[in-house]
Amino acid sequence: MFCDMAKAKEYTVAIPDKPGALGKCFLGLAEAEVSILAFQSYVEDRESLVRFLADDTTAARKTLAAMSMIFEETDVAVARLANRPGALGRAAARLGENQINIDYSYLGIDPGSAKVLLVFGVDALTKASKVLDDLATEEQAGVQTSAKPA
């Protein structure tokens, strides 16, 4: 399983900023039967940086190492919410209401459901995980959240 409650292991991989490099990385993971659940990619200082969540963290770690990729593992906060307008806004607002700073965010899909995975790099992981877990529980129960839809 890729995450426990509202926390997950995220991989940040440094990839050369050249044609085909991103594809090579993700095809290598696919050959190891690793599914990418969420990702973002951007260029910084002439190098591509990719952040992603994988369905099998052990296989992802082993595959990246076998490919001699430079990577880091980080814990991130994750919200599993219904894919509807305002989901990202409610989650971000709820974190802000709890004085949790968001360093970055991106989204993906929760396998086997119609929910989105909202991934947050935050300055207070344990607190953020609890806040997002509570939000997901409220939304599942149909409780009106305190943040207005964005």
- Within-domain flag for 63: yes
Per-residue pLDDT at 149 = 43
Per-residue pLDDT at 143 = 59
Low-confidence ranges of the chain (pLDDT < 70): 1-5, 143-150
- How many angstroms separate the CA atoms of 55 and 6, rounded? 14
Per-residue pLDDT at 141 = 83
Per-residue pLDDT at 144 = 53
- How many angstroms separate the CA atoms of 71 and 49, rounded? 9
- Within-domain flag for 150: no
Read off the pTM.
0.84
- Within-domain flag for 122: yes
User: Domain with 42 in it: what CATH number?
Assistant: 3.30.2130.10
Domain boundary among 74, 93, 120: 74
Q: Residue 117: give the domain boundaries.
A: 77-140
Domain boundary among 19, 49, 74: 74
Q: What's the total number of domains in the chain?
A: 2
- Within-domain flag for 3: no
- Within-domain flag for 26: yes
> 3-state DSSP: the chain helix, strand, coil percent, rounded to 5?
35, 40, 30
Instruction: Say if residue 63 is in the same domain as residue 84.
Output: no
Q: Residue 35: helix, strand or coil by DSSP?
A: coil
Residue type, 144: Q
Instruction: Say if residue 70 is in the same domain as residue 81.
Output: no
Domain boundary among 74, 91, 114: 74
Q: What is the CA radius of gyration of the chain?
A: 16
- Within-domain flag for 146: no
User: Domain with 103 in it: what CATH number?
Assistant: 3.30.70.260
Per-residue pLDDT at 1 = 40
